[in-house]
């Protein structure tokens, strides 16, 4: 699995949920087509009159997620940019997505503005496997976020976390350790540890 594979899943599902923040600080989500995957990013478009466009232009940020038929979920969250060569990109998007011509016939297509993600965090989450499988990637020049939980040297080896873990992804050792690729990030182990030896990663 690579970041490119994740972007390809978004393109294959195509109708993905895109989230932005509105001017009142409320999250807004809608289904938008992933129009292209190229040069290590995804491309999409929206009309200048839409709230989605205003929110993208104001914040420069968005998140997108989709689930395929195999219960594999991809999430991408980060910075977006509007592409300057508008007509070139809209024509290219229409070539790759011919059904768009019915929605925006002839030159009405140029009310659309093309965007792509310029950087962000990518998450792959496979719920079709047991235990679940997850992997994180980045787009662009950003540091990979550390998510989930880790076991610190405060561990006394009592085994409580291992017994309660719903994915059986905690292994014995000094200290005990979590197989991060199989972890749900549910936090049950941290709640159950009698000596608070389990903490959130990246904090
Ligand atoms: S519950 Fe806490 S102390 Fe016990 S094995 Fe797990 S991390 Fe270590
Ligand atoms: S966060 Fe949940 S799934 Fe992950 S190790 Fe802890 S109990 Fe297991």
Of the candidates 68, 59, 66, 60, the one whose C-alpha atom is nearest the C-alpha of residue 30 is: 66
- b/e code 134-162 from CB counts within 10 Å (16+ = b): bbbbebeeeeeeeebbbbeeebeeeebbb
pLDDT at 197: 98
Return d(Cα 203, Cα 199) in angstroms, integer.
8
Instruction: Give the residue extent of every domain in the chain.
Output: 3-139, 149-200
Q: How far is the CA of 73 from the centre of ligand 2 (A)?
A: 19
Ligand showing the shortest atom-to-Cα distance for residue 197:
1
Return d(Cα 27, Cα 65) in angstroms, integer.
14
When the candidates are 3.10.180.10, 2.30.110.10, 1.10.3470.10, 3.90.550.10, the CATH number that belongs to 3-139 is 2.30.110.10
Contact yes or no for 53/46 (Cβ under 8 A): yes
- Binding site membership of 168 for ligand 2 (Cβ less than 6 Å): no
Residue of minimum CA distance from atom 4 in ligand 1 = 158
pTM for the predicted model, two decimal places: 0.93
The residue with tokens 């290219």 is 92
- Binding site membership of 188 for ligand 2 (Cβ less than 6 Å): yes
Return d(Cα 199, Cα 78) in angstroms, integer.
25
pLDDT at 135: 97
CA 145, 148, 151, 152: dihedral to nearest 10 degrees? 40
Residue of minimum CA distance from atom 8 in ligand 1 = 155
Pairing relation of β-strands 15-21 and 27-33? antiparallel
Residue of minimum CA distance from atom 6 in ligand 2 = 189
- Binding site membership of 178 for ligand 2 (Cβ less than 6 Å): yes
> Which of 149, 151, 168, 169, when mutated, tests ligand 1's pocket best, judged by the most ligand atoms within 8 Å of its CB?
151
Q: How far is the CA of 158 from the centre of ligand 1 (A)?
A: 5
Digit-coded pLDDT (tens) for 82-103: 999 999 999 999 999 999 999 9
Q: Mean of the per-residue pLDDT values for the chain?
A: 97
Contact yes or no for 167/125 (Cβ under 8 A): no
pLDDT at 102: 96
Query: Where does 149-200 sit in CATH, by number?
Result: 3.30.70.20
Per-residue confidence at 203, pLDDT binned at 50, 70, 90? Answer: confident
> Which of 161, 164, 173, when mutated, tests ligand 1's pocket best, judged by the most ligand atoms within 8 Å of its CB?
161
Query: Which residues have C-beta within 8 Å of that of residue 173, sequence separation ≥ 6?
Result: none
Digit-coded pLDDT (tens) for 146-198: 999 999 999 999 999 999 999 999 999 999 999 999 999 999 999 999 999 99
- The whole-number average pLDDT for the span 32-55 is 97
Is the pLDDT score of 60 beyond 90?
yes
pLDDT at 166: 97
pLDDT at 138: 97
- Binding site membership of 187 for ligand 2 (Cβ less than 6 Å): yes
Q: What is the DSSP string of 132-195?
A: -EEEEEEESS-PPPP-SEEE-TT-----HHHHH-TT--EE-SSS-EE-GGG-----HHHHH-TT
pLDDT at 202: 85
pLDDT at 136: 96
């Amino acid at each position: 699995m690579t970041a490119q594979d994740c972007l390809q899943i978004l393109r294959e599902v195509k109708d993905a949920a895109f989230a932005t923040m509105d001017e009142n600080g409320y999250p807004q989500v809608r289904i938008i087509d992933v129009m292209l995957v190229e040069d290590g990013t995804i491309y999409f478009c929206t009309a200048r009159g839409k709230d989605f466009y205003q929110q993208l232009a104001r914040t420069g940020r968005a998140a997108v997620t989709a689930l395929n038929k195999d219960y594999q979920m991809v999430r991408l969250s980060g910075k977006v940019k509007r592409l300057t060569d508008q007509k070139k990109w809209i024509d290219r998007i229409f070539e790759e997505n011919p059904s768009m011509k019915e929605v925006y016939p002839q030159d009405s297509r140029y009310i659309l503005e093309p965007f792509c993600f310029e950087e962000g965090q990518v998450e792959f989450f496979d719920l079709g496997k047991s235990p679940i499988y997850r992997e994180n990637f980045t787009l662009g020049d950003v540091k990979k976020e550390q998510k989930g939980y880790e076991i610190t040297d405060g561990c006394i080896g009592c085994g409580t976390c291992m017994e309660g873990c719903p994915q059986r992804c905690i292994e014995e050792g000094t200290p005990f350790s979590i197989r991060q690729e199989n972890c749900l990030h549910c936090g049950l182990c941290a709640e159950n540890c009698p000596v608070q030896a389990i903490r959130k990663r990246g904090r």
